[in-house]
Structure 1
């Protein structure tokens, strides 16, 4: 086992590596006095993954989560399956709300089972979106639908014209 002084030196080296590889502003934004290397890594990772989850695919998200868990295990930080699975479900965006609820009902849960289920759900959601787009397009071009309105010509402003004066009444002779 690594001694306290040896671990302190490793920890300081990792923090120094973070400091030299990211922008100084980002480093100072994330790091608090007394943080160890693990705390800095968790904060940095959260900063980058929290903002991008909406745009990532399930494969990208799960692969990144697994990589982070493996890296934490490499530095002797315990990441058990319960933590990995709860982190996975907590990080899903609102589109996967129902899927996240369904995952909690899965018998003998495991990371590979969760990933497989989420891939299927993502594929299903993409199919639904395509069908909705197709139906919307078809509804707009079907025989029963009115033809698309022709673009209107822009109205050109013209000053009001005076109406012609009414004809003068004939004069009576006396």
Structure 2
């Protein structure tokens, strides 16, 4: 009203309106429109990884920082005619499009979607066929074993499967998670029965910490056992005389054989102590070499084998001398 009066007055006086006499509409730029979404949501949502449970907390936290959760949770009605609401909704939608993989985009994105519609379509992709997926995931969860995996790898796999079950409506309680974790442990952790008998049962994080500590203790015991086996088996042979300029003494060469064989035996013992599946095979492979190391360095040739060079000449000379006598 004031701007139009000023314009009318200027025209009646024959002068052009100035910038000060006309008030321009204010342009409001929200601070969240200029952020880098990847710095707030470092996880990319992909179908082949089934990582909705890891991605969604990052995204909902981002929306909560700027008060934009109603654009995805449906707690507020859409107001497409409101410019401020339209700007905020377009911003949330661009965040969704920028943090999901192309496989998710191809199935969930559509033209003229609101952020809420896109969010619901994405969520439906990971919640479809809940009943069959719950059955398969439950079987995977209850039949999982550690094998040769480390404690950290085993715990991560167990927790990821429990999270996937939660996404399909089958919540795994913390005591159930701990007991299933203990059930599938490698036999070398058989002494962890005290954890299962604890009252109350420790939580998942505490159980993992105890198992990691035991894993470190077992690895140290394997190293000590290997070193002890090396020292006991090698003995004085490892400290034999050093080789001479003429090729080395037979004792030195024999000590080298013993040392090499003992290294193999010690490595096999360490493998058995650490629980490796191929530990027994390594012991069996090391046994012949260890026995050979303690044998005589020079063995007579087997019957029918070729005579070593130089030996035939000496045999013929001794035979000639016997014939002359």
TM-score, normalized by the shorter chain, greater than 0.5: yes
Aligned position for 1:36: 132
Q: Closer, same or farther in 2 for the Cα pair 1:152/1:118, shift >3 Å?
A: farther
Q: Closer, same or farther in 2 for the Cα pair 1:87/1:45, shift >3 Å?
A: closer
Note the C-alpha offset of 1:152. Answer: 5.0
Aligned position for 1:85: 178
Aligned position for 1:156: 302
- The within-5 A match list for 1:1-174 is 10-11=128-129, 36-44=132-140, 49-50=144-145, 53-99=146-192, 101-108=193-200, 109-143=202-236, 148=258, 149=294, 150-153=296-299, 155-158=301-304
SS for the counterpart of 2:236 is coil
Higher RCO by CA contacts (8 Å cutoff, separation 6 or greater): 1
TM-score (norm 2): 0.34
Note the C-alpha offset of 1:144. Answer: 8.5
Aligned position for 1:27: none
Between the aligned partners of 2:154 and 2:300, the Cα distance in structure 1 is: 50
Between the aligned partners of 1:44 and 1:82, the Cα distance in structure 2 is: 18
Between the aligned partners of 1:83 and 1:114, the Cα distance in structure 2 is: 12
Note the C-alpha offset of 1:137. Answer: 0.6
> Size of the alignment, in residue pairs?
126
The CA RMSD measured in Å over matched residues stands at: 3.0
Q: Which has the higher helix share?
A: 2
TM-score (norm 1): 0.61
Q: Larger C-alpha radius of gyration, 1 or 2?
A: 2
Aligned position for 2:7: none
- Unmatched 5+ residue regions in structure 2? 1-123, 241-254, 259-293, 306-325
- Unmatched 5+ residue regions in structure 1? 1-5, 15-34, 160-174
Note the alpha carbon deviations across 1:108-133, whole angstroms, 9 max, x for none: 41101100000000000000000000
